[in-house]
């Protein structure tokens, strides 16, 4: 087989993954900006409704069924709970902490997915990978700095959100293939609506009448979010996982850059060091997985 025919799918998958991470970072910027104008609960509810309608429309166009037996399972319920936790707490982290810091902590997700695969799917993990996992988790501690004087408990919002996303990804992996991407997107955004409604009840802040400026910002954030989701799923189905997955870390580049340019954030040396540790550990784990596939 021509080697170039093998490289093209990988290159396409890498480009889709990079596009997805860039779009997610843009979504974070607009949500953080909108919270200065609208209550967070209202933003999440509008976002959830908008995204659910988009994916419902995509499902209708392809004549796919959103409601079937595969959806009414404990696994899908667990996925919804993890999605709610991830969406709500990560958005709270983006809003109440520097976006660059929240993005940096999120980079531990691929490492935690590997750990979760061992715990829940009984996948075999070599000692070198175990070592990389613990080094990666140490990198998260360097970013969060729980013993430092400037430690903020708000940093734990990103940690909880990351754990939620990891649970969602693990549940997605175990979900029946009969559940389409459109259905997963529909239920994912429906969960965001529930997260917004729950937070709105707790926050008890009055909703604000929307202006054209609000609608434009919401529209851009929604387009970025839907594009990010579709690009992510496409990336994971194009090329090999070993080639595509490491480019999840480009989200850190986009997130930190936009945090500096838009919000004037200044990442300090410990955060950058922690990022380097986490990314290095994650890339090593990915390299070990690729080497095992070739063996």
Q: Find, among 31, 284, 70, 280, the residue nearest to 161 by Cα.
A: 31
Mean pLDDT for all residues in the chain: 82
Q: What pLDDT was estimated at residue 85? A: 92
| 174 close to 167: Cβ distance less than 8 angstroms | no
Q: Evaluate if pTM is beyond 0.75.
A: yes
Q: What pLDDT was estimated at residue 19? A: 94
Q: What pLDDT was estimated at residue 75? A: 81
Q: What pLDDT was estimated at residue 133? A: 81
Per-residue pLDDT tens over the stretch 37-55: 899 999 999 989 999 999 9
What stretches in the chain show pLDDT beneath 70?
A: 1-6, 70, 121, 123, 146-152, 175-178, 239-243, 288-295
Instruction: Measure the CA–CA gap between 184 and 170, rounded to whole angstroms.
Output: 13
Per-residue pLDDT tens over the stretch 169-219: 788 777 656 677 788 888 888 998 999 999 999 988 899 999 999 999 999
Q: Compute the chain's Rg from CA coordinates.
A: 19
Local structure of 95: helix, strand or coil: helix
Instruction: Measure the CA–CA gap between 274 and 148, rounded to whole angstroms.
Output: 14
Q: Find, among 31, 32, 38, 34, the residue nearest to 205 by Cα.
A: 38
């Amino acid at each position: 087989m021509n080697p170039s025919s093998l490289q093209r799918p990988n290159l396409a998958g890498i480009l889709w993954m990079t596009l997805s991470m860039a779009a997610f970072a843009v979504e974070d910027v607009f949500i953080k900006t909108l919270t200065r104008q609208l209550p967070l609960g209202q933003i999440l509810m509008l976002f959830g409704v908008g995204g659910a309608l988009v994916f419902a429309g995509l499902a209708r166009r392809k004549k796919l069924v959103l409601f079937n037996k595969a959806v009414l399972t404990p696994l899908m319920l667990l996925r919804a709970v993890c999605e709610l936790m991830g969406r709500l707490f990560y958005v709270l982290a983006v809003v109440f902490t520097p976006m660059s810091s929240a993005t940096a902590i999120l980079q531990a997700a691929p490492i935690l997915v590997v750990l979760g695969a061992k715990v829940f799917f009984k996948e075999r993990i070599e000692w070198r990978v175990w070592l990389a996992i613990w080094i990666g988790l140490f990198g998260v501690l360097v970013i969060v700095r729980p013993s430092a004087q400037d430690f903020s408990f708000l940093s734990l919002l990103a940690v909880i959100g990351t754990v939620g996303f990891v649970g969602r990804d693990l549940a997605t992996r175990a979900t029946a293939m009969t559940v389409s991407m459109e259905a997963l997107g529909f239920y994912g955004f429906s969960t965001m609506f529930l997260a917004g409604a729950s937070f709105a009840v707790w926050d008890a802040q009055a909703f604000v009448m929307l202006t054209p400026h609000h609608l434009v910002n919401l529209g851009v954030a929604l387009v970025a979010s839907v594009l990010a989701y579709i690009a992510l799923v496409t990336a994971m189905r194009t090329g090999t996982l070993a080639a595509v997955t490491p480019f999840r870390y480009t989200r850190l580049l986009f997130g930190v850059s936009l945090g500096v340019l838009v919000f004037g954030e200044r990442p300090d040396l410990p955060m950058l060091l922690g990022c380097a540790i986490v990314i290095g550990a994650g890339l090593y784990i990915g390299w070990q997985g690729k080497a095992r596939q070739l063996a």
